[in-house]
Structures are given as C-alpha cells and as structure tokens.
Structure 1
C-alpha cells in the first residue's frame, strides 16, 4: 500500500462487511463469492494485478512467471475459472511476493503450500487449498485483463479489500461513491453501538440513526 493512494488508505480502515453494505446500497456487485482467507488473521488492501488462466496448449504454456512484474503494494488476482483440481499459487510465489512487498493474492481457484503463507503472514484468499500442481494443466492466457473472481468482475487497477469475511472488489469508476457510502455506514453503526452502551434500546438507536436504510438501494 502506498501513502499516495488515498482511496487504498480509506478502504483499509473499513471492513468487508461494511463495504459489502455500501455496494448493495449502490447496486454494485463486488462481493467475491466463496473466496476466503487461508487464515482469519489475513488482511489486505490494494489494487488488482490480474491474471487470466485457461486450459493448456500443446506444448503447454506456463502457470506464470509474472511475479517480478507486479507493482509493490498490488494484489495479485488469479482467475482459474474456479477450478479446484489444479493450483496456480504455491510457496515460491508466496516467498517472492512477500519479499517484494506485494499486498496479497486472491484466487478464483485453489492454492497450495499454505504453511508458508501462514508462517510469513502473507495474505492469500482462495476458494480452497490442495496440493496438486497446475503445471501442464493450466496456463496463463492474459495479464491485466478483466477477470471473474467469485462472480464479481475485477479489472486491472480496481480496488480490493480482504479480511476474515472474504474479499470485496470496488470498480475504479465507483470508488469514491462506494467509499463515501461505506464511511457513512461505519459512522452510523459506531453511533448505534455508543448509544446502546449508554443505555439506549437497540431498536431506538437503530431508528435514530436510520440503520435499516443504510444498506437499502436508493435510500
């Protein structure tokens, strides 16, 4: 994460549940279905560097030697079409990504060598993990093209946020609106908590701070 990217900094202060509510309010699909952290401690925020995978040619292409081209602070976003029978990320990639200051990896598919990402604290989010290599089973089709991650479209440069609940993508053209809505929701929920700590009934607090309208589209 770079200090110059103010929207990355703003997103990093919000959790994915709040961002999800903001997306719902604005009618934007950005929740990456079934993409989960390999550890509930993992957190990541950054901009997408996308990779699209496909079936291997003959002879097969590579699973990917792109890691040295990924900008520091970016999130590697790998679309393997949700496949769970072949991995596209393992320990060598984890080690290099961690050393280079890459913010994390998000996979529409599976990873392997989970022990190292846990040891290093390098955030990996995926459908699952399994040990079988993708070598000769998949290959890189394209770099920095729009991809699908858990039924959400991710374009290169889009803003991603990941935490214990999963991964959110915010399309670049909607960043300011989503972040503003999420910050409003966050502040209202904090006010509700504080009011309840002071003795107010939850239903009264929710009514006062318009809780039930926070996530409703167009309200």
Structure 2
C-alpha cells in the first residue's frame, strides 16, 4: 500500500485530503502543520509520497522538500498549493519536487497524482506546464542539438520530447505503440545518460536545450 505524509498548516485541508486518500485505499501515515515537522516525520516514517503545501510557517514546503531530497530519503514530494506563481514552480523544481498540483484539482486526479509520483514519474498541473513552456519560450533560442543530448538514441530523444509535453508512461506507450516495460527502460536510460534525478528535471532539460519548443509537432 502506498504511504503518504500530509503537510499543510490548515487542519481542515489536511482532514479533507486524508479522507479522500484513505477512501481511495492509500495509507496516510502522518500529518504535519509546517515544513520542519514534515521533515522530521519524513525522516522517521519514510513515506512513499509527501503531499506538501508551499506556504507554511517555520519552514515552507520548498525548503522542506529540498531537505528531504538532500537527505536521500525514499520519499517523493508532490507539491499541492493554491498558487501557481512562477517563483514557486521553479523553486519547487530546483528543490527536487516530483510534481506540482493546484488545490482545485479533482479528487480522482489527486489520487492518480499520488500513485503516479509514487511510481517514480513526475506530474504537473496543465497550468504549471504552460508556465514552464512560457518561461523557456521567452529565453534566447539555444542550439537544437546540444552536446549533452548527443548520447541519446533517436528513440530516447523522441521519448524525452513526449515527457516534456507532459505525457505519462502510459500515454507514451500508446503513442509509440510499445510496451510499458520498454518505455520505462528508455526513460531510465535517458535519465542515466543525462545524469538527471527524475522526469521533472528532464522537462527542464528538454526546453533548456532547445530540443522542444511550443511549436514542436
């Protein structure tokens, strides 16, 4: 059973999310009202996923995420917040978050997001992905095939483009008519070759390198 830690400074919000997740069969192993408490519980309980608010007292969610990642805990962080401001998105990615959702997400989407992140994938709300795209579009164009991508096979580059489009492993398997196992193998290889921690970093690299732009077919 997937284990989850909830971190939000509002009791009512935590109670509502706990109910949604437990009804869906997820195991909520702890609750934190601030980032410092979330870090302590993550170190002690080692949950699969930490559902982390951004704005909290004592230590905010981004700082807590950075500490969790730096401690090499097995916990993957899914940011859940009311705000989708650029500084939050990029700070969360830099800190090592595996996903970023807004609190207006539907119940089923929230449950699916937790499962997705627990499985090792990254997930972004559509509005967040649009902000990432807009950010990199506003920057000067870079070379289309930077040296850092030279070790990727044609298939790995194709999959990297799809990851940057926000496609899940299931979507990619359907798009390319290949098995899920094959997709996972390609994703693992491209992350290793690019020395990336996860798919979130892969999205950033795809745009930074110029491999993909909003006009890419």
Report 1 or 2 for greater relative contact order, CA contacts < 8 Å, sequence distance ≥ 6: 1
Q: Considering only CA atoms, is the larger Rg found in Structure 1 or Structure 2?
A: 1
Quick check: TM above 0.5? no
With normalisation by structure 2, the TM-score equals 0.28
Structure number with the higher strand fraction is 1
Structure number with the higher helix fraction is 2
